[in-house]
A and B are shown apart, each in its own frame.
Chain A
Amino acid sequence: MAKIIRLRIKWRLYILVFGALCSFPALAGCRKTITSTPNATSYPGDNYPDVFQSFWNGMNTNYVFWGIDTTNWDNMYTVYKPLFDQLTVFDSAHEAKAEQYFQQMTQGLIDSHYTLNFSTTGNSFSPAQYRKLLTDPNYFADSAFPAAVLDSLIPAKYLDKSSVVTGTDTVTLEGTSTPFTAVSGTINGQVLYLYFSNFALSQAGAHTSPVFNYFFTMLHRYYGSLKGIVIDLRGNGGGEIADLDYLVGQMVTSQYTFGYTRYKNGVNRLDYSPWAPAVVKPWVGGSVNVTAPIVVLGDHLSVSMSELTIMAVKTLSNGKFIGTRTWGANGPLTSSVYFDGGQFTIGGSAWGSSGYMFVYTSSSMFKYLNGDIYEGVGVPPDIYARETTAAYLSGDDLVLDAAMRYLGL
């Protein structure tokens, strides 16, 4: 009897051990391999196939518009990997091929900040610019703004002579020295006008500081009696985010939301953070509650911070956007160290100190208050008005004229 019991216990133990042995390999295996995909900047990338792999992975991780961009990025891998694998030698012919492939891969991307900068040749490629010129070869040529209108028309015809303040400094934007021009004055003593070429107000020097001092002094002193304020952002290429509060924040006395941003927060394409409210805060140095209409002028060359400022102004109950649809690059962009996603460099030191290629791209996706995302399409105006060469030659700024009509002048 005791022997039988011992045998039964033994049998059960065998089953237990067998079951455990069978199950542990199953517990350990079967999952997909979790490969440790390195940061795009960490690839050795001293040959074209590596550079391609680095770029393709970097785009998966860093490009913030996969949620709305219709580019089939997997298909790009399938099509272009074999082509890059054939580029076995680095010479000018292969480099030209490589740049051509990169351009073909990215030409449909909606990020309108997006630019490929090839360090070895100095070439660059902007998909947004490529598409705009494809549909309208005169996209850049048929606008008389800003230089001609600004130099000879607005100060001469529209601004009160005694009020005109203008100046030009040189500022640094994205590491590049850029001319920075600003103009301010009054129109009929009733409207305060401000133009500046870039959002670099904190860098205003000896020549442009008087312009901003004039504008903000007049704003703070006469905001109650002004019939309107015109902020002219035509041709403005954007710049520093801090200027949003510095400019718009001086015209409001309470914080408000004008849209939302979100970032990448994981390595896969659809890993996003929640939408965070984009706000304008009253500037810490002081602000006034402007109740008069605030008109912002913009055009097809208003880019990035210009577009964000336009949306911030048009959100106000007394804000109005007059002009044409903007460029369409409104995903805020900052140094890649701050957020998961955004600009990155590929290619190791074998290509030189700047690597093989710098990919300039937005750090976050922006959604306007109404839920629309204007990336790649531009912000539509509340009132359409467009300057033409013919109008300029006859001494008219049709956009400013539209603003004056709106303000009842």
Chain B
Amino acid sequence: MKVCCAVTGFFVLCSLKSNGQLFVGVEGGPNMNYLTTSNASEPFTNYQGMKGWNIGIPVGYQFFDWLALEVAPTYITKNYDIVRTGFFTGVYQKNYNTYWQLPLNLRFSFGGKALRGFVDLGGYAAYWSSGRQKGTEANILNEVDTAYQTVNPTSILGENYGYSYDQKYTFNSTKDNRMEFGLIGGAGVSYQLFETYTFYLEGRYYRAMTDQQKQYELNQAPRYNDNFGVVLGCTVQVKKIVSLFKK
């Protein structure tokens, strides 16, 4: 039903403005991802944000000079870090996760003819395609010889040698929810050049509304991605490109 409404809405908007413009481009930039969850029962443990990046191909339709609909198939990383502190310093796990993401948003723009401001609002669907884990953990069956050498350890890695790993994450079909849906909010400025190219710089927030895990237990602590990014992009009007080829 929602899809039908969206499609109907799209064609209604198209019919409102016969001189609308189809545009296509490329965009990308760095991001900072945070995992929002509960770890109150894990002492000396912090979940920290990690840098990542994303690249996408925006395709859109400019209904009016102030309104466009945009979809941008995107390859995006949503990383986070689990860091132990205090006696456990040195134990950490960096989680590198990549997603294929399909955002769909409305772009409301305002301002002059060339230099304009805009606000993006929409939603996205994403598929968690792969993961990698890099870290160090204390290895219980690789002890530092404290019993016979009377060493007085000052950290967990003084009790047990650390095991360092950098490996592909193996998905667990019971646990991992590989589909993610969320909302998009963004704001930025654009500059139109030669009435053909539009360059833009945007601050964008992807807020996951679905848990990174399937619901597999009662009272489960959910995990959500919060991704803040800066996007630099350029779009070109398809009509202009076509006319260039015709010439």
Contact = CB atoms under 8 A, between A and B. Distances in A.
A23 B105 CA distance: 12
Contacts, number: 158
Contacts of B138: 338-339
Contact of B38 (A35, A60, A243, A279): A35
B40 A36 contact: yes
- Interface size class on chain B is 35 or more
B174 interface: yes
A253 interface: no
B147 A266 contact: no
Contacts of A9: 110
Contact of B41 (A23, A40, A73, A240): A40
A228 interface: no
Nearest to A364: B140
A2 interface: no
Contacts of B149: 284
Interface string A23-36: 10011001110111
Given A16-B110, A35-B38, A278 B141 contact: yes
A218 interface: no
Given A20-B121, A274-B167, A77 B218 contact: yes
B38 A261 contact: no
Contacts of B87: 337
B217 A60 contact: yes
Contacts of B204: none
Contacts of B110: 9, 12-13, 16
Nearest to B162: A276
Contact of B141 (A15, A241, A267): A241
Contacts of A363: 140
B147 A32 contact: no
B82 to A, nearest CB: 7
Interface centre among B37, B140, B224 (most CB of A within 10 A): B140
B213 A268 contact: yes
Interface of B: 36-43, 45, 66, 82, 87, 93, 106, 108, 110, 119, 121, 133, 135, 137-143, 145-149, 156, 159-160, 163, 165, 167, 172, 174-175, 183, 185, 205, 207, 209, 211, 213, 216-222, 224
B142 A242 contact: no
A114 B141 CA distance: 20
A340 B42 contact: yes
A30 B137 CA distance: 35
A279 B219 contact: no
Contacts of B108: 12, 15-16, 19
B39 A32 contact: no
Given A13-B110, A16-B119, A274-B133, 6 more contacts: A37-B38, A265-B82, A268-B213, A270-B172, A273-B137, A339-B138
A134 B224 CA distance: 46
9 smallest beta-carbon distances between A and B, as pairs: A278-B141, A242-B147, A276-B163, A202-B147, A39-B41, A270-B175, A36-B40, A276-B139, A32-B222
B38 A20 contact: no
Interface string A124-149: 00000000000000000000000000
